[in-house]
Each structure stands twice: as C-alpha cells, then as structure tokens.
Structure 1
Amino acid sequence: MPLTFGTAGVRAPMGPGPERMNAGTVALVATAVARHVRTQEPAGSTVIVGGDARHGSAGFVDVVAAVLTAHGLVVVVPGSPVPTPVIAAAVRSRGAVAGLMVTASHNPATDNGIKVYGPDGAQIVPPTDSHIEQHLRTAEREGVGVPETGATGARVDPTLIDDYVDSVVAGLPAPARPPRVALTPVHGVGGEICRRVLAGIGVDDVTLVPGQERPDPDFPTVESPNPERPATTLRLRGVAEEIGADVALALDPDADRCAVGYRAPDGRWRMLDGDDTGGLLADHLLTTPLPGSVRASGSRSGVPVVASTIVSSRLPSLLVPARGGRHVETLTGFKWLVRAADPLLYAYEEAIGHCVLPRVVADKDGISAAGAWCAMVGSAGRSVGAGLDALAEEFGAHLRHNVAHPLVPGADPDAALRRAAERLGSTGTVTPLDGTDGVRVAVPGARAVIRPSGTEPLLKSYVEAWTTPRPSRSDREDAGRRLTALADRVAAAITS
C-alpha cells in the first residue's frame, strides 16, 4: 500500500517500494506539498526545510529542497542536522509559508519520515492534510520521478539555529540556584543545542551521558530511542546518581519531547511520566510566569489557557482553574493542543510532549521544556517530590496505568474497540469520544480511555484513579485497587 499522508506528514520504514521511505516516495510527498503550497501562495514564497541525523535524512532533505525549488519556492535550510523545534520556530520567525522536517522522531533506527508545518508554524490540520493527500495520489499516477539533487538551489542559513537558541533563552528565566544537570539526547541532535540554551539561562553544570551525547543513527546503546521507556533512561539515571545531579533530562532523537527524572524520597532516581511533569509545570507557569508569557503580560491578554488531551490526567481540570487559568481539553496531538484557545500559556500531552513557549514554537519542544524545568527546580524552594505531594494534598492523588494492547495479526482495531466497549458496558458508563475514534469508561473514582493506535494493530488504554484531597495511606491504597480493577477489566475486554 502506498504511503498515506497523515495529519502531520508521513512516517515509515526505509527501503524500496511505494510503502516505504526512499528518494522516490520522498519526492512524491514533496511534490504534493509543493503543489498544495502553490495553490495558496505565489512563486518566491519561502519554505524552511531541515532534517535530523537519521539514516537517509540528509539525502531526503536534498530531494525535498530540489522539488520545492523546481516549483518556484525559495528553500531555506540550516545546513546541518537540527532538532524539529528549530524548523517549527523558523517557519514563524522567518515568515515562511511552510516547513518540512525530515525525521522519524523516537521511532526505531530503521524508520524515517517527514513532518509538515503550516504558515503559523504549527502542524497542519484538516483540510490541509486531505488536500496534500489528493496531490500525493495525483503525483503517484503521474509517475513523478526523483529530481537531480546536485545543486538544489536551497539557501543555507545556519543562523536558524542561533535565532532559535536566542528566542528560547529570551523566553526563559534564570533560576535563582542553577541546578546540576544530567542530560542525554539519546544519540539524537538535541544535546549541544540544549546545552547552549541551559547555559544561556545560567545553568552551566551539565553532564551529558557518555556514549549518547553525539548523534548516531543506529542508537547503539538503547533498544529503543524513546525516553518514555525505562530502559532507555537507565544510563541517564546512573549518571545522575554518580554526579549528584538535581535534574535528569532525556530528549528524544529530534528533541521535540523531554522526559525528566528526580531523586525520589527513597533516594532512587525515577523518571516522571508526562502527566506528573505536566501538572508540576502547569502549576509553576501559572504562578511564576515566564518572561513575556501571556500570564506575565497582564489581564489585557485574557485568562491564560492550559491545554491537555483527552487521554491525559484529569488533574489539570482541577488545578488550572484554582490558579486563575482556563483548562481546555483537546484531541490527541499537538496540532490540536496549540490551537486549543487563546491566549495559550502552556500545553502538554501525556507522552512527554510540552509546549512552554507557544509564541516561539507552536509545537512540542523538548529543549525549551528542559530549560523551563531547570528554572522551576532552581527557583521552587522545594523538591520535586514535595511538589508532587503538595498537588496531591490540594487536588487528590492521581494514579495512572497506560498500556498498549497488541491485537492478533489482521485484526480490525475499530471492530476490536466496538467489542471492548460492549463488554465494558456492565462495568461502568461507556461513552464515545467526541471527534475521534475511542470510548471513555467511567466508574466511581476511576476512568479509562480506549482508542485505536492509528498506525499499528493495537488499542491503547489510559486508566486513571484518584483520591479526595489530603489523601491518607489507605486512600491511596483504595485508589490503587480501583486502578488495578479497571485496568484488568479493560485488558480483558480488549484481549478476550
């Protein structure tokens, strides 16, 4: 099956054939984007194009640049591998009409892909994606070939990186007590740029994890370059322990996501999930605004908005109004989060994606999130563990259990979802999600969201249970039992 253009682009294993990433399919995708852009914008309009350090990325950038140039567009490239947020920021700062980033984010080393940004610097949404898909199918029928890439005509502008660093540094405060940091880019492209940003706000004591500090498209020290997985951050936690760090940070390979670790009360280093990180950052950003943020600019900008998704914790719905903000829940994906409402202060997703400077990067950005986290830890006057305890005291403890449930080969995820919903009807109240495939299951003191993956034959479940404020130990244990019971029922409904 040929590559299908999704809501932000394409991603697939590399190799020959129409269903994989190769020079031919990249040329088709670039042609589709170029034709769409030219229906909206005149010749001579600027498009920003970049890529990470994955296998094939440099060559794919050349192919994209050659195609766009042939369609009368001015292509600007950074001239070296860059994090995804650099391209997203440059689209907006340079007044470009689009941006294309060659990356497969945290996918395995065998994959690559292309993300597409609109003139607002955000990932594209309908109907733009369907228009590009139509152009893609037409280009396939026409048999569009791979252009000559020896002289693409692209303009190399390495100051795209400098401008990004300067903008992020300008948007972050210097912590009162700069923390000691252990950092890994997990063999990706974010390490040095993140270190520059941290240095710009006065955080100079940064140790990169040996063996993972430089880009390597094979990701040789990890089974998966996804920092959500505990094994991926094992070396990071070891370095944090060794150097007596205050903060542990893990970027994914294109540096648009950031996982953070802390020393737990038992002395061990643990990584927070996206919801714990999001709750702490939301609390901090609403009470201690970043320079130039909508909160810092005063009431004239309106009530500040914090956005999270339908699969994220319910905590922000309690916390944000209590801090004078407005909480908005969106569909999954930053293409929706950054468009939640104005004025947007902060957006996050449970999959360790954070947008802390929406005026600079209208997308998730692991590097600016790392800087905001260091500023918070260095100025909070309390430990991360104490911050988590304080949120539980005020809003109740929130326990989560998120699982991907593989389906049998050839199974239809939509049919599996319908069967699971029917089986869960006796468990609690089952309602369909608005605007997307999936269901929500509600029982007293707990809830679950189940939705198809969209890219793999599996269903994802997001189960949460909670306590009342000021929970006792027995309250937490009761919530844990509710969590386990609902998670087990969901798993049985999906797999039986």
Structure 2
Amino acid sequence: MHIEQNILDRVNEWLTPDFDRETREKIEDMMTSNPKELEESFYKNLEFGTGGMRGVMGVGTNRINRYTLGKNTQGLSDYLHKSFPDKEIKVAIAYDCRHNSNTLAKVVADVFSANGIHVYLFSDLRPTPELSFALKYLHCQCGIVLTASHNPPEYNGYKVYWEDGGQLVPPQDKEIVDVIESLTYDKIKFKPNEKLITMIDKDVDAAFVKSTVENASFDTPQSAKDGLSIVYTSLHGTSIKAIPAVLEKAGYKNLHIVPEQATPDGDFPTVKSPNPEEPEALSMAVSLANKLGADIVIGTDPDADRLGIAVRDNADKLVLLNGNQTMVLMTHFLLEQWRKKGRLNGKQFIGSTIVSTPMMMELASAYAVECKVGLTGFKWIAKFIKDFPNLEFIGGGEESFGFMVGDKVRDKDAVGATLLICEVAAQAKAKGSSVYKELQQMYVDYGFYKEHLVSLTKKGIEGAHEIKQMMIDQRVNPIKEIAGERVVVVEDYQSSVAKNLLTGEEDPLTVPKSDVLIYYTEDGAKIAARPSGTEPKIKFYVSVNAAIDSLDDIPAAEKQLDEKIQNIIRDLKIS
C-alpha cells in the first residue's frame, strides 16, 4: 500500500538510535507485515482532547508509549520551569488498573525528576479524584493521571492537572502543546533523580477519605443508613481503593461488593466495556442486588470518575438511571440541603454542560442560584470555580455519568458522588419515599425532561475523516426541520454564533470554540451533534420535555416523549 511521505518521515525518525532496539524492531516488523497498522500508528501525533490524551498502546506517534508520554512530560517540565521560576516545583502522579499504567507512571516520574522537579508518586493504583485532591493537599503545581477512563483494554492515557486541582484549560493547554510539539525526542531526559521521587499512599488516602465524608454527608440519621442496602461494583477498577473506606467511615454498613469484579484488572474480564453508561456493565451487580433485595446499585468506571446507578421503581424493579437523571437528583438534593441550612443567599452556583439536560436551569431558577454552563468536560466546571471565587460552588455534573460535589475535588468524582447518592437514597427511604419517587416528583415540579444519546463509532483514519465530513455537511446544509418541527435556533460553537432561523438575528456564544452544533425546535426539543474528544465517536444528544400537572400524568407523557425521541432519531438517520 502507498504511505504518505510525511508518515514515512515520522517512521524513519523512530528508527534512529534515540529509540530502543525493541521499538525499532517492532516498527521494522510492521513495515513488512502490517503497513496498515504502521500508517495508523504514525499518521498523526496523539492530541489532547476533552479528557486529556488517550490512545491505543503501542509504538508510534499516534500511540501511548514511553516516548510519546516522555515527550509530553519533557515539554510540561519545561513549561513548569517557565511558569514557576522561583519555586520548588512539585508534581503528583497517580495511575489506574490498566496494563502498563504503573510502568508508564514511573517513566513520567523519571522525566520530571530528571528535570529537577519533586515528584509525589502513588505507590499503587488510585482513583482519579484522589489525584485532584492530593495535588492541592500536597501543594503541587501540577498533577498527572495515567488512565484511559472507560475506554477498551488496549487504551491508556495521560491527564494533566494544574495547581487549582482542575484539568488544563485554555490558554495553558495550547501553550503546553506548543512547547511539546517544538521538542525533538532526543531532548527527553529519561534518567531519573531518585532522590526527588517520594512515594505516597496511606496518609493521603486518609485525608482524601476524611475530606470526602465531610463534603458529601448531610445529617442522615444512622438508622436511615442502616436501613439502606447497597450493592457496589468497581468494575475491576480503582474505586475499590476508596469507596468501601468512604462508605464505612460515613456509617454505611450494609454494603455488598460484587466479588467477581472487585479485583483490579486491566482486561476487565467480566464486562464487554467497563463503562457504567452501558447497561451490560452493571448486569452482575443488578443480579446480586435482586438476589439480596438491595435498594440501590452503584458501579464506577476504571479510574473512578463516573458512576452508574440502578434504583427500584414503583413496581420494585431495578431500573438504570441515566447521567442526566442522576445529575438532577443529586443537584436537587444538594440545593435542598443548602436551603434547609440557610446557606443560599444568591452567591452560589451549580455547573453543567451544553449537551446536558436543560432541567439544570430549572433547578437553578427555582432555588435562585446561577447555573453556569460550559463545554463538555469537568475542566470547564473547575474553571468556573477558579474564575468566580466570589461564588460558592454547590455541585454539578454532565450527562456522561459524572458528578462533582463541592470544590475539594476539581474533576468528576465517583467516590464523593457514591456517598452523595447513598445519602439521597437513605433519606428518601427513611421518609417512605425512594430515589425513583423523588425523581418523579421533580418531573411534576420542574418539568418532565427526557434525554437520549446516540453514539456512532468511526475508527481509524477513515473514521476520523467521516466524522469530520458529517460535521461539515451539517454546516454546509443546516437542518431546518426535525421530525416535523421547525428549527428555530442553531448554536454553532465552532463559529461562536447562535442564529435565530426565524428572524435571522445572530448572537455571540461566550464559551470557548468547539466543534459542536446544537439545534432547538419550536416545541422545545434540543439536539446536539458533537465529535467525542476522547474516543473515535460522533455523539448526538437528544432532549425533549413536557409539562405535567401530577404523578398520574407521567405514563402518558413518557410515552409521548419516547415517541418524539424516536421520530427525531429516524428523521436524522442516526440510529
């Protein structure tokens, strides 16, 4: 097959003595046995996306390996020295259960130390939210997590956090990428200064657990905690290092852990995907909960930043909640707790994203707080906390099963969110209600909002081109009608313009530019199209709503909204 010259130039660079023999031999083998894989491995440099950098492990510029991560870390070291010229620079590093995470974490630690930077390296795998906490707790300027979140087993990744505990945001992200891109591989300092590497574990663990319990507990009586039966699974991931300890310290004793999924394992052998967004991932936990008659099922992804939840419906059947539902449930609970304690004075805010449920705006209005809405990714919510120090952050989330309670952790946090949803469930059960009934009452009080996600996977070079072309086509031929309803407003986050199609008026969008299109129809439906920043996917987010007067209206309204969602999907041909 023909391979472009620019790809061959990258290949030839990796065949020089700056790269180890094993790497060079693998490349030479691909050149003869698998030129397609060679092209995929070198056709571009791995890029920072919504949740850092993720990719398949292997050799090449488009793969996760010691050289691509070494180059990132060298560039980051140079940037840190420039940013903090008169400080002792400290960095915290954590890693998850994935293959090679521990060895790659040590490579990253070595490069930092070789550049005179003090490294705090966790002695074993830890949840991502603990890294965000540890960075601030240890007064570091930067933090790194080696993780690919819920991606398949062949992936790994590299998330970068700054001194506020949040992930990189503009303009720093671009400035750091520019420094990295300007480097050649021979500039990477791999030889460590072991004196600058300090191992951390139990002391930070204890502080993290204590902080989480203080941050996500809300005066739930011990009798209510004792009355809640919880089934929990870590899906072979890192949350097993924190969630049982947090729940125990918080007083939740009736905890049942899925034993087959309790051991960290980068192969994730009992699931097709370690993603709590996927119903199949929680099937073993649901089965155990049915056997035990448990009230709630909680499952977390490998790096413990997302959680999936199942609760009992009015017929006592376990049903899975989606990320929008868990987000509004937990946000409503927090708002109500703050109100009861007299803590709401108009100087608070909740956070959400442009592709999440509009119901968050209704909650904010009802409790007279702000709802700040940003791009996908919790780095934007963390940025709001930093940019508005005069406002208190209550909590916030996004549709992709992430939530953040308060500001002690500046990223989505399944550890704190697990305790919070247990507080919601325990208090609801103690008063004769349930999580499900609380959600239904919210539909009556704030509007019945229903969301659906369609995610199309497009792998490789061709897939990337196809996704790009799909977004181009929508901009060249904008959609004017969806399922028989006129589109009234189109928001194009790439051009930062919101256009009213009925009046022709245009208004600027104030969030940073991103490859996202959002359509609003005359009946209140919202449809967003967005290429994923971490996976080879394009995602379509559909939100519809209806006003209802009582709980009795829910069945008919739900049927109507389900039909509307299916009509939209058919009309857009995205099923």
Q: Secondary structure at the match of 1:183?
A: strand
Kindly indicate whether the alpha-carbon contact (under 8 Å) linking 1:65 and 1:152 is maintained by their aligned counterparts in 2.
no
Distance in 2 between residues matched to 1:222 and 1:401, nearest whole Å: 23
Query: What residue identity is the alignment partner of 2:488?
Result: T
Distance 2:365 2:120 in 1: 42
Q: Structure 2: 5+ residue runs without aligned partners?
A: 1-43, 494-508
Q: Distance in 1 between matches of 2:434 and 2:164?
A: 37
Note if 1:385 corresponds to 2:436: yes
SS at match of 1:232: helix
Partner residue in 2 for 1:442? 520
From the superposition, tell whether residues 457 and 97 of structure 1 become closer, same or farther in structure 2 (CA, over 3 Å). closer
Residue in 1 aligned with 2:343? 298
The alignment partner of 1:81 has SS state of coil
CA contact (8 A) 1:183 1:208 kept: yes
How far the C-alpha of 1:297 sits from its partner, in A, is 7.7
Compared CA separation, residues 29 and 424, structure 1 to 2 (3 A) = same
| Deviation of the 1:265 alpha carbon | 2.1
Given the alignment of the two structures, is residue 24 of structure 1 paired with residue 70 of structure 2, yes or no?
no
CA displacement at 1:136 relative to structure 2 = 1.3
The 2-side partners of 1:277 and 1:451 are apart by 22
Query: Do structure 1's residue 4 and structure 2's residue 82 form an aligned pair?
Result: no
Matched, 1:479 2:538: no
Partners of 2:87 and 2:74 lie apart in 1 by: 15
Residue 479 of structure 2 corresponds to residue 424 of structure 1: yes
- What do residues 303-355 of structure 1 show as CA deviations (whole Å, max 9, x unaligned)? 32111111111111112211232222211110112233532111100001000
1:225 to 274, 283, 301: 274
Letter in structure 2 aligned against 1:442: Y
Q: Report the equivalent of 1:364.
A: 412
The corresponding residue for 1:202 is 251
- Partner deviation per Cα, 1:398-433 (whole Å, 9 max, x = no partner): 122210134574634343124235252133235123
Instruction: Give 2:14's aligned residue.
Output: none
AA partner of residue 160 (structure 1): V
Confirm or deny that 1:318 pairs with 2:362: yes
- Partners of 1:362 and 1:221 lie apart in 2 by 31
CA apart distance, 1:460: 1.1
SS at match of 2:81: helix
Aligned-pair CA distance for 1:143: 2.3
For the residue of structure 2 that corresponds to 1:190, the secondary structure is helix
Post-superposition offset of 1:481: 2.5
Give the AA of the match of 1:363: D
**Closer/same/farther in 2, CA of residues 332 and 295 from structure 1, 3 Å limit:** farther
Q: Is the 8 A contact 2:92 2:144 kept in 1?
A: yes
Matched, 1:135 2:183: no
How far apart, CA to CA, are the structure 2 residues paired with 1:122 and 1:97? 11
Cα distance in 1 for residues equivalent to 2:105 and 2:538: 34
1:415 equivalent in structure 2: 469
- Give 1:175's match in structure 2, choosing from 220, 230, 238: 220
Pairing partner for 2:56 from 13, 20, 27 = 13
Is the CA contact (8 Å cut-off) linking 2:114 and 2:192 kept in structure 1?
no
User: What SS does structure 2 have at the residue aligned with 1:215?
Assistant: coil
Where structure 1 has 5 or more consecutive residues not aligned to the other structure, the ranges are none
Alpha-carbon offset, residue 268 of structure 1? 2.2
1:127–1:376 Cα change, 3 Å: same
Partner of 1:108: 152
One-letter amino acid of the structure 2 residue matched with residue 352 of structure 1 = F
Q: Is the 1:305–1:327 Cα contact (8 Å) retained in structure 2? A: yes
The answer to whether 1:462 aligns with 2:541 is: yes
Answer whether contact 2:50 2:377 (CA < 8 A) is retained: no
8 Å contact from structure 2 (residues 216, 417) kept in 1: no
1:188 to 234, 237, 240: 237
Identity over aligned residues, as a percent?
28
Alignment match of 1:56 (pick from 95, 100, 109): 100
In the alignment, the residues of structure 2 paired with residue 156 and residue 295 of structure 1 have an alpha-carbon distance, to the nearest angstrom, of 43
- Give the drift of 1:452: 2.0
Q: Indicate if the aligned counterparts of 1:448 and 1:461 stay in contact, CA closer than 8 A.
A: yes
- What's the offset of the Cα at 1:107? 1.0
SS of 1:116 mapped into structure 2: strand
Larger CA Rg, structure 1 vs 2:
2
In structure 1, distance between residues paired with 2:204 and 2:192:
22
Q: Which amino acid aligns with 2:416?
A: S
- 1:34 matches 2:77: yes
Residues 222-262 of structure 1, C-alpha deviations (whole Å, 9 max, x = no match): 11111110111100111111112122110111111111110
TM-score, length-normalised on structure 2? 0.80
Change in Cα spacing, 1:214 to 1:35, as seen in structure 2 (3 Å) is same
Question: Is the 8 Å Cα contact of residues 50 and 533 (structure 2) preserved in structure 1?
Answer: no
CA gap of 1:310–1:295, structure 2 versus 1, over 3 A, is farther
The one-letter code of the counterpart of 2:444 is E
Other structure's SS at 1:143 match? helix
1: distance between equivalents of 2:341 and 2:136? Answer: 22
Aligned: 1:122 with 2:173: no
Is 2:130 the counterpart of 1:82? no
Kindly indicate whether residue 376 of structure 2 is the aligned counterpart of residue 332 of structure 1: yes
Whether the 8 Å contact between 1:316 and 1:327 is mirrored in structure 2 is: yes
1:278 — aligned with what?
A: 327
Aligned in 2, Cα 1:414/1:296: closer, same or farther, shift over 3 Å? farther
Q: Please state if 1:399 is matched with 2:477.
A: no
**Using the alignment, how far apart are the partners of 1:76 and 1:455 within structure 2?**
27
Q: Match for residue 266 of structure 1?
A: 315
Q: Deviations over 1:77-99 (max 9, x none)?
A: 22111111111001112211011
Aligned-partner residue type, residue 224 of structure 1 = S
Matched, 1:214 2:260: no
Contact 1:446 1:483 in 2 (8 A): no
More helix by percentage? 2
Q: 1:313 to 1:7 in 2, by over 3 A?
A: closer
Residues 1:240 and 2:294 are matched in the alignment:
no
Alignment size in residue pairs? 486
Change (3 A) 1:124 1:297: farther
Tell whether the 8 Å contact from 1:295 to 1:345 is kept in structure 2 after alignment.
no
Answer whether contact 1:172 1:201 (CA < 8 A) is retained: no
- Which amino acid is 1:104 matched to? A
